């Protein structure tokens, strides 16, 4: 908007606001504001028009009801700011608003104070629009470190989780306990935080569904979160805007037919921890609005210090998006429709000293009030201006807490917190014959297509960084199709496609992880899936904490297929050869981070079917796309999944044991086993499908899922073992420490050798072929390698002769 036009709009808004104030006493009383809460002319005009519309629709008895509620909202917002400031600095709270003395302050104050202060009017406005429209929307907050605003307002209005309700109240003792628990650093006997208050959103935050610790991931998920008929308000930050690519693609994915209403709101306070945000440096909200329009958004700019502006923004975004949906359904418009997006501009830490400075991020006062008179005076003076007498606050809260009268749930119980996804119907097994050549990825592809067809009531999201066809998911591609605006002739594309495709692993993973009400799948090259680690870990942590709190997540487990993997991607240099994601996820808690290495087509199919029976988990499945011999029949494949490990050749207590983690690794171990048994050695081969179930458990939940095979293997200390792993050997040997027989165990695996090599070349370069397994057996048994290897094979180990041919052919 040009400057003369801006000035014209400002003058026009001022004139209209003045007319409304003169004509409506209730409006004028609200427009006067309260303390630091001020209502600009533009907000006044918007609120008046919203009130008129609500009155005409019969949503409220009259406009006066709207203004009275909003007057209460101002007081709730001021008191929210008051309490957030106390959470950072105070260890005692007095509901009568008295000045605090030095001993009433924390000796070591902590908090993300500035961002939390900015979130107070945002969340308060969310509460208000719910009350005005008799609709409890969901909410999610990308900047989880601003949770103090949520917890403070929830306490004030009584919207509490059981853990908070048991400890906190609005008397002096309850409020003091509340601020003391904030950054208390206390720990229980079993090593968990003793305080239900966290530095970020946690499972005790009423209505919380995501920690919001990794900035930028909520921006990738929110458009995929609500189901049709649901509404979601997504609070975002300008810092996260620069953190993660993909948030500006949200308009590409929204469809009225399978998406709920979304109202994204960015808190644009212009600052990171140490300096201005990149967005601010590039031109601030004006630049951002231009950027948003270029990417298919319809930006709205509001005063981020005014809670009424947030209430109006949610209303307005939903009204516009609903109108767009009606136009599409009437054939008057096509996708994409503009996705409406609010930019809430405010100084960081507004309402308290230090606003707009770098200090505002953490501790906005220049010194600690516990030890400095000037800082103590500044604190007391600031909170005095925010204080609301108890009777006024009680009246405000009563107006907002109209849930019973409206027959709607409390915000702690919004729809996204209570996901009860119906169980899926699984297709009948289609097992491959033992000995047949079959692609494990093709088997998975077949199962997933059947699963989608059997479950039309489950919204499907397939996260695809442009790799489905190359990973043999061709039937899924044909059935589910890429989601686009204008399908290209001859390609598997559709406006209502269920596959979210972009060359960005985090963005497409966000589609599946956000769709917790539906059926999901993520498919990626193994090496590049490592980029998803942060977003996967955030989901795993929250799900594990829910489980620990006895509130296990009820979304269907999400399989992450890692294919074109380290050992079969030799045509693409070493950047494409990385087992790092499986290694990293094995470090997470194994009851929620399930890492499996199927050994053939039947076990891959069994792993997928098992994943969709389970809840609140991420299943990383390392699945080859190459055709491999089928080793297990259907019963054995299901037993392998049930037990996590299985003896597939020889007697399970043989004195020499080959442990295979991975499909190609099993093939090499079987080749070595055939040579050993042919020469009279008693040996066996175990397929270790799920190493995490064989580890030393780190708590009771992990112990409950241990494999029954673990005890038998761990009790055989006198055997010789060679571990051949898909991953690097060191992390896998650490996970399998109970199976390590010390000097009688050797571990082989990926040792960071690669390049443009085929499978045989990769196996040789990393010392992981059947020849190397036999060499390791010889070393462990203190025998000469010649006992197990023929002269040409010994030469091959030294890199002489037809090395790759020997590896491919296997032993005679």
Crossing angle between the packed helical segments 307-329 and 41-57, to the nearest 10 degrees: 50
Within 10 Å of residue 590's Cβ, how many Cβ atoms?
25
pTM of the model: 0.95
Query: Which of 12-21, 116-125, 602-611, 723-732 bottoms out in mean pLDDT, i.e. has the lowest?
Result: 12-21
| Spatial separation of the C-alpha atoms in residues 806 and 812, rounded to whole Å | 9
| Spatial separation of the C-alpha atoms in residues 262 and 254, rounded to whole Å | 9
Q: Provide mean pLDDT across the span 611-626.
A: 98
Q: Facing residues of 647 across strands?
A: 686
Task: Kindly tell me if the per-residue pLDDT of 746 is higher than 60.
Answer: yes
Question: Quick check: 285 and 301 in contact, CB under 8 A?
Answer: yes
The pLDDT value recorded for residue 2 is 52
The pLDDT value recorded for residue 6 is 60
**CA-based nearest residue to 657, from 771, 569, 534, 745:** 745
pLDDT digit string, tens, across residues 256-286: 999 999 999 999 987 666 667 777 787 788 8
Tokens of 678: 């042919």
The pLDDT value recorded for residue 272 is 65
Alpha helices in 361-455 (DSSP H): 373-386, 390-400, 403-406, 440-454
CA 699-702-705 angle, 5° bins = 145
Crossing angle between the packed helical segments 172-181 and 147-157, to the nearest 10 degrees: 160
Distance of CA 93 to the CA centre of its chain: 35
| Spatial separation of the C-alpha atoms in residues 161 and 202, rounded to whole Å | 11
CA 482-483-488 angle, 5° bins = 70
Could you tell me which residues come within 8 angstroms of residue 456 by beta carbon, excluding any fewer than 6 positions away?
Answer: none
The pLDDT value recorded for residue 309 is 98
pLDDT digit string, tens, across residues 38-49: 999 999 999 999
pLDDT digit string, tens, across residues 315-349: 999 999 999 999 999 999 999 999 999 999 999 99
Task: Kindly tell me if the per-residue pLDDT of 145 is higher than 60.
Answer: yes
The pLDDT value recorded for residue 496 is 97
pLDDT digit string, tens, across residues 296-309: 899 999 999 999 99
Q: Across all residues in the chain, what is the average pLDDT?
A: 94
């Amino acid at each position: 908007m040009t400057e003369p036009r801006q000035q014209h709009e400002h003058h026009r808004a001022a004139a209209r606001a003045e007319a409304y104030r003169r004509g409506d006493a209730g409006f004028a009383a609200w427009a006067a504001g309260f303390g630091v809460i001020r209502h600009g002319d533009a907000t006044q005009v918007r609120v008046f028009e919203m009130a008129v519309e609500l009155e005409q629709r019969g949503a409220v008895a009259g406009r006066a009801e709207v203004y009275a509620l909003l007057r209460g909202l101002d007081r709730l917002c001021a008191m929210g700011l008051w309490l957030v400031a106390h959470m950072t600095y105070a260890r005692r709270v007095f509901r009568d608003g008295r000045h605090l003395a030095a001993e009433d302050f924390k000796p070591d104050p902590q908090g993300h104070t500035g961002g939390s202060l900015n979130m107070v009017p945002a969340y308060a406005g969310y509460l208000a629009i719910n009350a005005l429209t008799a609709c409890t929307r969901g909410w999610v907050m990308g900047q989880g470190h601003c949770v103090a605003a949520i917890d403070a307002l929830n306490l004030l209005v009584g919207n509490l989780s059981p853990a908070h309700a048991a400890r906190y109240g609005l008397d002096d003792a309850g409020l003091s306990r509340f601020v003391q628990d904030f950054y208390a650093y206390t720990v229980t006997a079993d090593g968990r935080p003793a305080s239900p208050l966290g530095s970020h959103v946690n499972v005790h935050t009423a209505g919380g569904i995501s920690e919001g610790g990794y900035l930028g991931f909520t921006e990738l998920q929110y458009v995929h979160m609500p189901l049709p008929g649901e509404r979601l308000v997504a609070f975002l930050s300008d810092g996260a805007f620069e953190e993660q690519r993909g948030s500006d693609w949200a308009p590409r994915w929204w469809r009225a037919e399978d998406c709920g209403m979304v109202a994204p709101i960015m808190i644009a306070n212009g600052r990171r921890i140490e300096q201005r945000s990149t967005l601010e440096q590039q031109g601030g909200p004006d630049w951002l609005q231009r950027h948003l329009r270029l990417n298919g958004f319809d930006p709205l700019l509001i005063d981020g210090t005014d809670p009424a502006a947030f209430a109006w923004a949610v209303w307005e975004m939903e009204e516009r998006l609903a109108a767009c949906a009606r136009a599409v359904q009437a054939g008057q418009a096509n996708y994409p429709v503009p996705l409406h997006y609010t930019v809430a501009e405010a100084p960081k830490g507004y309402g308290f000293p230090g606003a707009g400075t770098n200090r505002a991020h953490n501790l906005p006062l220049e010194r600690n009030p516990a030890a400095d008179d000037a800082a103590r005076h500044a604190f007391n003076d600031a909170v005095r201006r925010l204080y609301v007498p108890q009777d006024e606050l009680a009246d405000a809260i009563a107006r907002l807490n109209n849930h019973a009268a409206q027959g709607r749930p409390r915000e702690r119980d919004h729809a996204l917190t209570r996901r009860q996804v119906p169980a899926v119907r699984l297709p009948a097994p289609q097992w491959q014959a033992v000995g047949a050549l079959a692609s494990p990825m093709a088997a998975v592809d077949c199962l997933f297509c059947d699963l989608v067809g059997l479950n039309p009531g489950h919204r499907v999201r397939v996260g695809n960084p442009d790799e489905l066809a190359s990973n043999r998911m061709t039937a899924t591609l044909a059935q589910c199709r890429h989601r686009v605006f204008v399908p290209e002739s001859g390609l598997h594309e559709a406006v209502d496609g269920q596959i979210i495709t972009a060359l960005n692993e985090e963005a497409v993973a966000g589609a599946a992880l956000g769709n917790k009400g539906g059926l999901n799948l993520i498919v990626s090259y193994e090496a590049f899936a490592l980029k998803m680690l942060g977003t996967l870990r955030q989901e795993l942590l929250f799900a594990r904490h829910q489980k620990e709190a006895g509130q296990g997540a009820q979304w269907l487990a999400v399989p992450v297929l890692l294919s074109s993997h380290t050992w079969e991607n030799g045509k693409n240099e070493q950047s494409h050869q990385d087992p790092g994601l499986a290694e990293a996820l094995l470090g997470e808690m194994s009851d929620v981070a399930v890492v499996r290495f199927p050994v053939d087509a039947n076990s891959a199919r069994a792993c997928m079917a098992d994943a969709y029976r389970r809840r609140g988990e991420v299943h990383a499945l390392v699945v080859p796309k190459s055709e491999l011999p089928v080793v297990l029949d259907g019963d054995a494949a299901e037993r392998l999944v049930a037990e996590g490990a299985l003896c597939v050749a020889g007697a399970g207590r043989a004195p020499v044991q080959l442990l295979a983690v991975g499909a190609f690794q099993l093939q090499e171990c079987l080749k070595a086993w055939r040579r050993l048994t042919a020469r009279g050695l008693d040996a066996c081969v175990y397929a270790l499908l799920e190493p995490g179930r064989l580890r030393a458990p780190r708590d009771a939940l992990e112990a409950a899922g241990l494999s029954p095979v673990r005890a038998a293997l761990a009790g055989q200390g006198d055997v010789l073992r060679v571990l051949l792993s898909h991953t690097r050997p060191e992390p896998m040997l650490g996970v399998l420490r109970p199976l390590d027989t010390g000097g009688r165990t050797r571990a082989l695996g990926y040792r960071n050798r690669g390049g443009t090599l085929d499978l045989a070349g990769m196996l040789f370069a990393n010392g992981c072929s059947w020849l190397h397994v036999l060499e390791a057996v010889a070393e462990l048994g203190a025998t000469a390698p010649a006992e197990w290897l023929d002269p040409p094979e010994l030469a091959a180990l030294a890199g002489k002769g037809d090395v790759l041919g020997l590896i491919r052919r296997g032993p005679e």
